[in-house]
Amino acid sequence: MSSVTPEIHESVGRAQVADLASRRAYEQAWRQFAQQQSAEAFCGSWLVIQAHAIGGVSDGVVALLRPGTNSFAPAAFYPESPRDRLRLAKVTERALQTGRGVLEPRDHEGGAEARGPRYQLAYPVRLDGEIRAVVGLEVDWRPEPQLQTAMRELQWGSCWLEVLLRRRADPKEVETLRLKLALDLVSTLLEQPKLKESTAAFTTELASRLGCDRVALGLVKGRRVEVRAVSHSPMFERRANLVRAIERAMEEAVDQEVAVVFPPADEERPVVARAHEALLAESEASSAATFPLVHDGRVLGALTFERASGHRFEPPTLEVCAAVASVAGPVIDLKQLNEASLPVHAARSAKGFWNRLFGPGHPGFKLGAIALAALAAFLALAEGEFRVSADSMVEGAVQRAVAAPINGFVKEAPLRAGDTVRAGQVIARLDDRELRLERAKLVSQREQSVLQYREAMGKRERAQVNIVSAQLAQADAQLALVDEQLARTTLTVPYDGVIVRGDLSQSLGAPVERGQVLFEVAPLENYRVVLQVDERDIAHVTVGQRGELTVTSMPGERFPIRIVRITPVNTAKDGRNLFRVEAELENDAGARLRPGMEGVGKIEIDQRKLVWIWTHGLTDWVRLWMWSWLP
């Protein structure tokens, strides 16, 4: 008995000392927690307080998100110098990946006093829907109800860490993170091409990222709202009581066109929430919130969020939900429109047009519609001059060709196209050296024949006289031909006019052949206008009609013309059939014109409705097309 007593007293003493040190550490933690020091001191004191509240904690860690990165760094340990800092790394990593609390047993070490395996707990801490911290604890073995109590204590205690993160957060950074989270969530809608698959993935992502037990998306169909997607449920029974309760809650928010949160916050304005109260009774959830999906003033549907028992929606989370609903509305509307049929597209466009025209707002659209209606009425009643337009070219009324009279070579060409010439003016000369040599040869032969003729006459040789006489006649004829060819080597202008074609100034010494056209000359101030009229308008043109001509070189002047001839022959050009129509210039209008000028001519037909003038081409094409297809 005496040998055992000292051991008992020693064990009791150590327990009292450890308990005293624990109480002092606990009191010191509360003092540090109240002083609101640095983030590391805050997390360290909070971890000590949390370990004492849960009890049986042998190891703990708090990791915070590094600013500007996606990595987490330890901010506090319990105890301050743990034997293995990586002991809780696996369970905290799993909590970060899943985005929810994790509870898992460790391998049983088999100690004599141990009644079962130790457990590791981890819980992520969110700020505006984004994980900003994670807590990991290792606790002694305990029954399952006590494990659930420990996890609940950890969840409630982590709210202090959220307070710390919110105090440290920059308001601009919080707003940026909130917007980034909303865009990240809505981007899930764009990952799938079909609306059904994208809404299923969207609701599941919302439930995971915002800590919701269930998220449902419904779309307006007629006067009702139909649930299209439920988180974590690719297939669901539409006739189930829970789905019907969700649809009624959505219709309650859609009818009021406001967000409905139940239980409501004290500062919120009163709204009808009886359907949401019935939804909570049906689903046994703690709170529910529904946000209408709106685009272009139209309510498309609604998003309903539910949280499990014991959890309510915080104001930051509700702000994220509202942002997600406002951004998701246009995306869902666009996907619905892409999958709609052609009649639905037409009906929707007509309805939108009608609402903008006769509904409230849109003053600019209404003024534009009134102006368009006034313009249509003006075109339907007003009349104007109907004129047929055609490409035109100025030609000489009479054109003379100056051709090569003989085969030869160009010796001189002082004039070229565009020069004004007078009658008898030399336009070109051909080389006459060969002809002059030929003429000298013929003259010599004729003189020989004359001598032979005289000799035969002296001898009275009648037969020889006749032969030589024939040779003299032949020589005279050849000389006359050569003289005529020599005269034609000089080319002259037949009348006063202008050279419209031909330029031999760069072809001196070049050979020419007999009959080859070298120049074309047109008379001055005596022109005709050739119009190429399209076959679709030729039926409106008759001889005697008047019009105007504008040439490219003088676009500001108008020259009066009169139709004098319509040829029945057409030519194909650029895929069109064109008829040649000739007109004459009136009132001596050709003083400033020159042959070869091109422009546009307009033939005046008569007075017709402006709407017919501007649309007759299209209506004629439609009639022809319908005639070709009708039986």
- DSSP code per residue over 246-265: HHHHHHHHHHHTS-EEESPP
Q: Provide the mean pLDDT of the chain.
A: 80
Residue type at 215 in one-letter notation? V
Q: What is the DSSP letter of 539?
A: G
Q: Do both 159 and 199 map to the same domain?
A: no
What pLDDT is stored for residue 480 in this prediction?
Answer: 84
Q: Are residues 209 and 289 in the same domain?
A: yes
Give the distance, in angstroms, between the CA of residue 282 and the centroid of all CA atoms in the same chain. Answer: 48
pLDDT value for 37: 61
What band does 268 get if pLDDT is binned at 50, 70 and 90? Answer: low
The domain total for the chain is 5
Single-letter amino acid, residue 6: P
Residue 388 located in a structural domain: no
* Rounded Cα distance, 473 and 321, in Å: 123
pLDDT at site 550: 92
More confident residue, 183 or 369: 369
Based on the fold, state whether residues 191 and 150 are members of the same structural domain. Answer: no
Asked if residue 502 belongs to a domain, the reply is yes
Query: How far apart are alpha carbons 390 and 581 in whole angstroms?
Result: 10
Same domain, 550 and 429: no
101 domain residue, yes or no? yes
CATH of the domain at 615: 2.40.30.170
Q: Say which residue, 10 or 191, is predicted with more confidence.
A: 191
Residue 173: partners with Cβ closer than 8 Å, 6 or more residues away:
none
Looking at the fold, whether 104 and 31 belong to one and the same domain comes out as yes
Beta bridge partners of 134: 63, 124
Least-confidence region, from 29-38, 374-383, 401-410 = 29-38
Distances (CA, A) of 147 to 49, 55, 59, 153: 18, 11, 16, 10
The answer to whether residues 495 and 561 belong to one domain is: no
- Residue 121 C-alpha from the chain's centroid: 52
pLDDT at 407 over 70: yes
Structure confidence at residue 14 as a pLDDT band (50, 70, 90): very low
| Alpha-carbon span 177 to 21, nearest angstrom | 43
Q: Has residue 556 got a pLDDT over 60? A: yes
Q: Which of 212, 222, 54, 76 is nearest to 135 (CA)?
A: 76
Check which CATH number belongs to the domain holding 437 and give it: 2.40.50.100
Residues 6+ apart with CB under 8 A from 330: 295, 296
**Same domain (yes/no): 194, 331:** yes
Whole-number Cα distances in Å, 567 to 149, 532, 583: 106, 11, 11
Section 79-107 average pLDDT: 81
The predicted structure's pLDDT at residue 490: 78
Strand partners, 127: 130
In a domain? residue 76: yes
Q: What whole-number distance in Å separates Cα of residue 459 and Cα of residue 103? A: 158
Answer yes or no: are the C-beta atoms of 76 and 47 closer than 8 Å. Answer: yes
Burial class (CB in 10 A: 0-12, 13-18, 19+), 305: buried
| 144 and 38 belong to one structural domain | yes
**Best-predicted range by mean pLDDT (25-29, 111-115, 139-143, 312-316):** 139-143
Which range, of 20-34, 54-68, 372-386, averages the lowest pLDDT?
20-34
Q: What pTM did the predictor assign?
A: 0.41
3-state class of 329 per DSSP?
Answer: helix
pLDDT reported for residue 172: 53
pLDDT tops 80 at residue 300? yes
In the structure, what pLDDT confidence band is assigned to residue 303 with cuts at 50, 70 and 90? Answer: very high
Question: Residue 26 sits in a domain of what CATH number?
Answer: 3.30.450.40
Best-predicted range by mean pLDDT (22-36, 73-87, 174-188): 73-87
Residue 429 β-bridge partners: 412, 490
Domain that holds residue 492: 400-519
Q: In sequence order, what E strands does 574-627 have?
A: 576-585, 598-609
Task: Give residue-wise pLDDT tens across range 341-383.
Answer: 777 777 777 877 777 777 777 788 888 888 888 888 887 788 8
Which residue carries 């609604």 as its tokens? 302
Sign for the CA dihedral angle at 481, 486, 491, 494 comes to: negative
Average pLDDT over residues 106-117: 57
In a domain, 6, yes or no: no
CA 472/CA 463 separation, integer angstroms: 15
Inside any domain, residue 12: no
What's the CA gap between 385 and 603, in Å, rounded?
Answer: 10
Task: Classify residue 386: in a domain, yes or no.
Answer: no
Last residue of a domain, one of 480, 498, 519: 519
Q: Are residues 152 and 181 in the same domain?
A: no
Instruction: List strands edge to edge, sheet with 214-221.
Output: 224-230, 214-221, 298-307, 287-295, 260-262
**pLDDT computed for residue 602 by the predictor:** 93
- Among the residue ranges 376-390, 480-494, 557-571, the one predicted with the least confidence is 480-494
| Minimum mean pLDDT range among 15-29, 138-152, 154-168, 209-223 | 15-29
Alpha-carbon distance 397 to 582, whole Å?
Answer: 10
Q: What is the CB neighbour count within 10 angstroms for residue 219?
A: 21
End-to-end CA distance of the chain: give it in Å, rounded. Answer: 126
State residue 504's pLDDT score: 77
State residue 83's pLDDT score. Answer: 66
In a domain, residue 383? The reply is no
Q: Does 323 share its domain with 451?
A: no
Mean pLDDT computed over 194-218? 86
Which residues have C-beta within 8 Å of that of residue 442, sequence separation ≥ 6?
475, 478, 479, 482
Q: Are residues 415 and 354 in the same domain?
A: no
pLDDT at 468: 80
* Distance (Å, whole) CA 418 – CA 17: 125
Clarify whether residues 303 and 154 are in a common domain: no
Q: Pick the more confident residue, 320 or 341.
A: 320
Q: What six digits make up the tokens of 109? A: 């070490």
Average pLDDT over residues 537-553: 90
